[in-house]
Structure 1
Amino acid sequence: MLTVDSTPLSPTARTTVGRGRERALDDRAELMAFLAEAPVAHLGVTVGEGGDEHPLVLPVAFAVDADGPDAGGTLYVHGSVAARWLRGAEGRTVCVTVTELDGLVLARSGFHHSVNYRSAVVIGQARIVTDEAERVRAFDLTVDHLVPGRAATLRPATRKELAATGLLAVPLVEASMKRRTGDPVDDEADLDSGVWAGVLPLRRVAGAPVSAADSHDDVPADVLAVAAGPAGAQTGAS
C-alpha cells in the first residue's frame, strides 16, 4: 500500500490559504488522491536572466510519487530537455497548480455566480532528475498517470528517448488544497426574485477508444478501464 506523508498541508505561510479559508482541506491524503486523478497541471516559473526575467505558466504532464525522495513525496513534471523553461527551473522556486471544474454555480445575481471546483497549489524548489533509476520510474509514472497500468504493457524507453526527456521534481511538502461544493449563496433579498438558481454539474468523460490507422482493434484492458469510468472518466461530484 502506498504510504502518504503525515506532514500537515500548508506547513509554511506561502501555502497557507487566506481568502476562502473555509474551503481549505487539511488532509494530505485528499491532496494525493486529487493529484492522482487530475490529468494536467500548470507550472509557473520565472525564466530568463538579468533584465530578461519574466514569469511563464505552462500546461504540463505530471505524475506523483508519494514515496518519492523529496520532502512530502515528489511531484514530477514532464518536458523536453531542450525546453528553456525546464532548464531554467532548476534550483528555482516554482509553483504547480492543478484544477478540476466540477460545476457552474448559477445564482440570482451576477455577483454571486461561482463554480464548484477542486484545486491544489504546490510550491517548492525544483530539481532536474538525473539519477537513471529515478528517471525511468518517473517516466513510467507519467505514462501511468493518464492510463494506469499502461507502462507495463509497453517496451522499455530507449536511452535516446530517456535522454530527450526532461523531468523536473518538486517536493510535495509545501502544498494547499481548496474545494467548493453546493448551491449558490444568494442575498436574502434576491430569494423571491423569481430567477432560477442552481448548479450545472460538469464532468470529464472519456469516449470510446479509436484505434490508430496502423493498429489492430484489440483495445487493451487498461485503456478500456479508463473509457468505462467512473474512475476512468475521473468524474467529480458537485
Structure 2
Amino acid sequence: MTDMPVSSFPRTERTTVHRLPKRATYDRAAVEAILDEGLVAHIGFAGTDGTPVVLPTAYARLGDKVIVHGSSVGHFMTTLAEGVPLCLTVTLLDGLVLARSAFHHSMNYRSVTVFGTARVIEGHEAKLEALRGLTERLTPGRWDQLRPVTVKEVAITTVLELPLTEAVAKFRAGPPVDDAEDMGWPVFAGVVPLKLTAGEPVPDPTPAA
C-alpha cells in the first residue's frame, strides 16, 4: 500500500503566515494549482560566501516534487546540488487594485512559497524523464517532435527535485478596501485585471540547413 499525499501541508515556523494570516492557505490542492499555472519560479539561497542570492528559473511540478535544471558547471546549480537550504516562490499577478487613497492600493495575486533542500536526480534515464516532464509542462506535446536529446546533453545538465513537504500559498482577491470617509472621493476605484497571454508565434528567420 502506497502512502497518499496529505490534503494539506503542516504549518511550520517557516510557513506560518503572521501578516494577514487569513490570506494564507496550506491546502495542497491550492498550492499545486498555483504551481501548475506558473512558469517561472524564484529560488533564494545563501551563496558560498554567505551572500543572499535570488535567481529566476523555469520549473515544473511533477507529482509531489518541483523540478528545476541548469548547467552542471554553473554556480547556481552546483550550489543547490550541495544541499543548501532554499526557498522557492511562484507568484501569479491577477490585477492592480486601485483604491481611493494611495495607502490602500494593492494587488490581487496568488503565490506559493516552498522551503526545503533540493536533491540531485542521478542516472541518465531518470534525468531524461525529468527533462521530458519539464519540457512537456512548458510546451505540451513538443518533446516527441524534437530532435532527440543526446547523452552528452543529459550528462552536462544538472536536474534537481525539490520535495513538496513544506509549503504555503497566499492570495488576495476582490475590490479595494477603502476607509469609509474616502468612499465619496471622485476618483476611479476598482481592479485592473492582469493576465499573462501567449501571442502569435514568430517563426525563426534562420533558414533550415
What letter matches 1:108 in structure 2? R
Q: Which moved more, 1:162-171 or 1:4-13?
A: 4-13
**How far apart, in 2, do the equivalents of 1:109 and 1:99 lie?**
25
From 27, 49, 53, give the equivalent of 1:56: 53
Contact kept? 1:74, 1:170, Cα under 8 Å: yes
**Cα displacement (A) at 1:59:** 0.5
**How far apart, in 2, do the equivalents of 1:188 and 1:160 lie?**
65
Percent identity, aligned pairs only, is: 45
What letter matches 1:201 in structure 2? P
What TM-score does the superposition give when structure 2 sets the normalisation length?
A: 0.91
What letter matches 2:120 in structure 1? I
What letter matches 1:64 in structure 2? R
Q: Deviations over 1:9-48 (max 9, x none)?
A: 2442211222121111232112112211111000111111
What letter matches 2:77 in structure 1? L
**How far apart, in 2, do the equivalents of 1:191 and 1:107 lie?**
9
In the TM superposition, structure 1's runs of 4+ consecutive aligned residues that sit over 3 Å from their partners are none
**How far apart, in 1, do the equivalents of 2:11 and 2:147 lie?**
41
**How far apart, in 2, do the equivalents of 1:47 and 1:17 lie?**
26
What stretches of structure 1 of length at least 5 have no aligned partner?
67-72, 217-238
Q: Which moved more, 1:74-83 or 1:181-190?
A: 74-83
* Equivalent residue, structure 2, for 1:161: 153
Contact kept? 1:63, 1:138, Cα under 8 Å: no
Give matches, 1:189-200, under 5 Å. 189-200=181-192
* Equivalent residue, structure 2, for 1:119: 111
Contact kept? 1:63, 1:77, Cα under 8 Å: yes
**How far apart, in 2, do the equivalents of 1:169 and 1:54 lie?**
23
**Cα displacement (A) at 1:199:** 0.4
**How far apart, in 2, do the equivalents of 1:85 and 1:10 lie?**
29
Contact kept? 2:111, 2:170, Cα under 8 Å: yes
Q: Which moved more, 1:117-126 or 1:162-171?
A: 162-171
Give matches, 1:131-210, under 5 Å. 131-210=123-202
2:76 is the counterpart of 1:85: yes
Task: Specify the SS of the correspondent of 2:14.
Answer: helix
What letter matches 1:177 in structure 2? A
With over 3 angstroms needed to count, the CA separation of the structure-2 counterparts of 1:193 and 1:46, relative to structure 1, is same
What TM-score does the superposition give when structure 1 sets the normalisation length?
A: 0.81
With over 3 angstroms needed to count, the CA separation of the structure-2 counterparts of 1:46 and 1:198, relative to structure 1, is same
Contact kept? 2:69, 2:159, Cα under 8 Å: yes
**Cα displacement (A) at 1:8:** 1.4
Contact kept? 2:7, 2:27, Cα under 8 Å: no
Root-mean-square deviation over aligned CA pairs: 1.8
What letter matches 1:6 in structure 2? V
* Equivalent residue, structure 2, for 1:14: 14
Contact kept? 2:175, 2:190, Cα under 8 Å: yes
**For this pair of structures, how many residues does the alignment match?**
205
* Equivalent residue, structure 2, for 1:231: none
**How far apart, in 1, do the equivalents of 2:68 and 2:175 lie?**
35
* Equivalent residue, structure 1, for 2:5: 5
